[in-house]
A and B are shown apart, each in its own frame.
Chain A
């Protein structure tokens, strides 16, 4: 399993041909992008619309050799580096981007790249890169949200591979997805983190039942619950070794955090995951709300509040830029993306509150067909502070891993997990 994704085995240097410089790549990418990608659109779109448009764009990008820029050529990539990926991300600003594939290409694909068998990589990575296959994560469970390593989904050895039973929750986009990376428990007689296995589950296989979750806003959310009933998984669809499930999961989370921090393989897919400056999914612009409600931006009741929101928005972007520079220069080592996620996890709910403040009564009571966007946004904004590693988990990471403060005492470090479950069963 490669430790450093930038050093995957066959870059063009192995072919003895010199790698394209960042400058040359930028020129080539810019020319293609301006000739082939439509400009970014502000039109609100449903997820289904995003998917349809996204498939066309991603296929186009792949066919032109710009998908998987840092992925080796033999897996359908361009065989360049993550620095080139970053250049692509810079060049594509202002153009339509297939955001829908951020998780599949930016998070799942690199995990497969790092941990999959050669056969799986060659078969699936090109399809993921082209958008022909969508891959999702199957990590959280109804019984344990943030406690991913506490997975109760069972994997049992069976003919040719494994049988999987259990339920997973909060998987984004499972409805349209083809494969999921599923964390399951294969050994109940060893301590918690040691008995886990990561399996690639074909979501079209018999026994997979996917239910969209209804959001507090009323409509169907983008995320789903999955029931796995005796689902067969072939041996070669295991990622990493049989008890290396947690190591693979950590790799997946590493890629997820990179995506949130705007680095890694997901660069160029925009901020739909909550990363990227001032992303619109989780943050509202207050000035339009104020104007729409007929207030003046200089209204003394809201002057400080509006200014606060403005400052907070700008400073969050500046923090992200600083972490980016720190990580790229090597001065910051480790999971510093968690700091950015923690910041947004606090500032976005505050922004939602302020939006309600300035919208006033007209925000919550309306005539006509459209209305309620602001309180509806507030009702679900906490999702961003919980998903992808909650604020509390990020605080653990910052304090324990970045600051090196003592970990929580854990009396069960050596206890077989089966015993822990029996003891804490409700």
Chain B
């Protein structure tokens, strides 16, 4: 976690941690594997009562955050979720709320925002397309804007909470540029097919749109603001991922070191062997670096800095790549039980693997960040 949390942020963090430890410990996440939805709507509602979804909005827009602290506030929750590999539509809700809060005039958002903030309405962001396509300019999903309504055609993949959502925010191309529309899940022409994922609690779906007719008021993001708003959402998605992953790494590092301080082999605790101490020192460099780069990117996001896009991609490019290695190292340091079902490390590893690929790989983000630096 960053060192300069405000007192209020510390309270948010503590309340989130307490809630998750009590209501959603790892055992609950193991149990989530067997459920259809992966998360409990009741627990999500309680988390919304703590204000989690409301942190995505400024006070003016009906939320809880000061305008220049939204990203950092959301990151606190994301990190706490990471610590216990949490379930629930937190990230997608936060991202879609951002779109709704910056919606076009004429868009019908008020009741949707209210519903999302209370946890009653589940929101999903239908963004990526098959084949690991996270580039809007290459999307096949299309919106036709007609005088009396909108027509949506296409297919989205990797939609988090796609089968649980009440409303999907769909990013598509129009003749005038990228746009986003709000599509109630039960609209005619919408077909949702659940996918499987490596993660225990997070669920994804493929969603097909076949000549879906929508009113004009379903246009949340118009073409004039489309590219900029979508970019902001991508940044937020990357930053929440990185924050969650940092929480994963922090917690697993702690319990691995604890294990090594207790575990005896060859006459002494394994944490006293220099070869292993040195590897822990190297992991500390990575852990602190992950936090440092995420903090820098969150600061830029909250300041609306022109560098925000580059820094978010640097953060993703660093954190996501190192996280899976890091967890692999922890398994190595733990020994045999580290590859068993009963030991929790693999639950964290699955989350890290998921975050690595979602919203594109660190390999591509590094190249993109470097290109942005040279532009």
- B is a partner of A: yes
Chain A contacts to B: CB under 8 angstroms: 287, 297, 303-304, 306-308, 310-311, 314-316, 318-319, 321-323, 325-326, 329, 331-332, 339, 342-343, 346, 392, 394-396, 398-400, 402-403, 405-409
Question: Of all chain B residues, which has the CB nearest A316?
Answer: B289
Cα distance, A409 to B267, chains bound together (Å): 12
On whether the beta carbons of A311 and B369 are closer than 8 Å, the reply is yes
A322-B292, A346-B285 known, 18 other contacts, Cβ within 8 Å: A306-B370, A311-B318, A311-B369, A318-B292, A321-B292, A322-B288, A323-B288, A342-B285, A346-B282, A394-B281, A395-B278, A398-B285, A399-B278, A399-B280, A399-B284, A403-B281, A406-B271, A408-B272
On whether the beta carbons of B271 and A325 are closer than 8 Å, the reply is no
On whether the beta carbons of B277 and A331 are closer than 8 Å, the reply is no
CB distance from B75 to the nearest CB of A (A): 15
On whether the beta carbons of B367 and A307 are closer than 8 Å, the reply is yes
On whether the beta carbons of B293 and A318 are closer than 8 Å, the reply is yes
Cα distance, A183 to B282, chains bound together (Å): 30
Main secondary structure of the interface of A (DSSP, over half): helix
Task: Please tell me if B105 contacts chain A, counting CB pairs below 8 Å.
Answer: no
On whether the beta carbons of B281 and A399 are closer than 8 Å, the reply is yes
On whether the beta carbons of B289 and A315 are closer than 8 Å, the reply is yes
- Residues of the A chain whose Cβ atoms lie less than 8 Å from the Cβ of B341: none
- Residues of the A chain whose Cβ atoms lie less than 8 Å from the Cβ of B111: none
On whether the beta carbons of B295 and A396 are closer than 8 Å, the reply is no
Task: Please tell me if B82 contacts chain A, counting CB pairs below 8 Å.
Answer: no
On whether the beta carbons of B3 and A310 are closer than 8 Å, the reply is no
Chain B contacts to A: CB under 8 angstroms: 3-4, 257, 261, 268-269, 271-272, 274, 277-278, 280-282, 284-285, 288-289, 291-293, 295-296, 314, 317-318, 363, 366-367, 369-370, 373-374
On whether the beta carbons of B369 and A307 are closer than 8 Å, the reply is yes
Cα distance, A329 to B1, chains bound together (Å): 14
Asked whether A322 and B3 contact (CB < 8 A) given A311-B366, A311-B369, A396-B277, the answer is: yes
Cα distance, A343 to B370, chains bound together (Å): 21
On whether the beta carbons of B284 and A402 are closer than 8 Å, the reply is yes
Q: Which of A308, A318, A326 contacts B366 (CB 8 A)?
A: A308
CB distance from A317 to the nearest CB of B (A): 9
- Residues of the A chain whose Cβ atoms lie less than 8 Å from the Cβ of B370: 306-307, 310-311
CB distance from B367 to the nearest CB of A (A): 5
On whether the beta carbons of B366 and A310 are closer than 8 Å, the reply is yes
On whether the beta carbons of B285 and A339 are closer than 8 Å, the reply is yes
Cα distance, A315 to B277, chains bound together (Å): 23
CB distance from A400 to the nearest CB of B (A): 7
Q: Which of A307, A318, A326, A407 contacts B289 (CB 8 A)?
A: A318
- Which 7 residue pairs of A and B lie closest in terms of their CB atoms, listed nearest first? A322-B292, A399-B277, A398-B281, A307-B366, A395-B281, A406-B272, A307-B370
- Residues of the B chain whose Cβ atoms lie less than 8 Å from the Cβ of A406: 261, 268-269, 271-272
What would 14 A/B residue contacts be, using CB atoms closer than 8 Å? A287-B374, A310-B366, A311-B366, A318-B289, A319-B293, A321-B296, A323-B288, A325-B3, A339-B285, A342-B285, A346-B285, A395-B278, A399-B278, A403-B277
- Residues of the A chain whose Cβ atoms lie less than 8 Å from the Cβ of B373: 310
Question: Of all chain A residues, which has the CB nearest B5?
Answer: A331
On whether the beta carbons of A315 and B285 are closer than 8 Å, the reply is no
On whether the beta carbons of B3 and A332 are closer than 8 Å, the reply is yes
Q: Which of A304, A308, A315 contacts B292 (CB 8 A)?
A: A315
- Residues of the B chain whose Cβ atoms lie less than 8 Å from the Cβ of A307: 317, 366-367, 369-370
- Residues of the A chain whose Cβ atoms lie less than 8 Å from the Cβ of B281: 342, 394-396, 398-399, 403
Asked whether A310 and B369 contact (CB < 8 A) given A332-B3, A395-B281, A399-B280, the answer is: yes
Main secondary structure of the interface of B (DSSP, over half): helix
Cα distance, A405 to B269, chains bound together (Å): 10
- Residues of the B chain whose Cβ atoms lie less than 8 Å from the Cβ of A409: 268, 272
Cα distance, A20 to B268, chains bound together (Å): 55
- Residues of the B chain whose Cβ atoms lie less than 8 Å from the Cβ of A306: 370
Question: Of all chain B residues, which has the CB nearest A309?
Answer: B370
CB distance from B90 to the nearest CB of A (A): 25
On whether the beta carbons of A405 and B272 are closer than 8 Å, the reply is yes
On whether the beta carbons of B282 and A395 are closer than 8 Å, the reply is yes
Cα distance, A409 to B296, chains bound together (Å): 40
Cα distance, A319 to B288, chains bound together (Å): 7
Cα distance, A407 to B317, chains bound together (Å): 35
- Residues of the B chain whose Cβ atoms lie less than 8 Å from the Cβ of A395: 277-278, 281-282
Cα distance, A343 to B281, chains bound together (Å): 10
- Residues of the A chain whose Cβ atoms lie less than 8 Å from the Cβ of B288: 319, 322-323, 339
Cα distance, A398 to B284, chains bound together (Å): 8
Cα distance, A405 to B278, chains bound together (Å): 11
CB distance from B44 to the nearest CB of A (A): 32
Asked whether A403 and B257 contact (CB < 8 A) given A311-B314, A325-B4, the answer is: yes
CB distance from A393 to the nearest CB of B (A): 10
On whether the beta carbons of B284 and A339 are closer than 8 Å, the reply is yes
Cα distance, A316 to B281, chains bound together (Å): 16
On whether the beta carbons of A314 and B277 are closer than 8 Å, the reply is no
Question: Of all chain A residues, which has the CB nearest B362?
Answer: A311
CB distance from B311 to the nearest CB of A (A): 8
CB distance from A358 to the nearest CB of B (A): 13
Cα distance, A395 to B282, chains bound together (Å): 7
CB distance from A291 to the nearest CB of B (A): 11
- Residues of the B chain whose Cβ atoms lie less than 8 Å from the Cβ of A405: 257, 261, 271-272, 277, 280
- Residues of the A chain whose Cβ atoms lie less than 8 Å from the Cβ of B292: 315, 318-319, 321-322
- Residues of the A chain whose Cβ atoms lie less than 8 Å from the Cβ of B363: 304
- Residues of the A chain whose Cβ atoms lie less than 8 Å from the Cβ of B271: 405-406
On whether the beta carbons of B314 and A343 are closer than 8 Å, the reply is no
On whether the beta carbons of B374 and A297 are closer than 8 Å, the reply is yes
CB distance from A99 to the nearest CB of B (A): 26
- Residues of the B chain whose Cβ atoms lie less than 8 Å from the Cβ of A316: 289
Cα distance, A402 to B268, chains bound together (Å): 21
Cα distance, A322 to B367, chains bound together (Å): 24
On whether the beta carbons of B367 and A408 are closer than 8 Å, the reply is no
- Residues of the B chain whose Cβ atoms lie less than 8 Å from the Cβ of A322: 3, 288, 291-292, 295
Question: Of all chain B residues, which has the CB nearest A326?
Answer: B3
Question: Of all chain B residues, which has the CB nearest A328?
Answer: B3
On whether the beta carbons of A342 and B282 are closer than 8 Å, the reply is yes
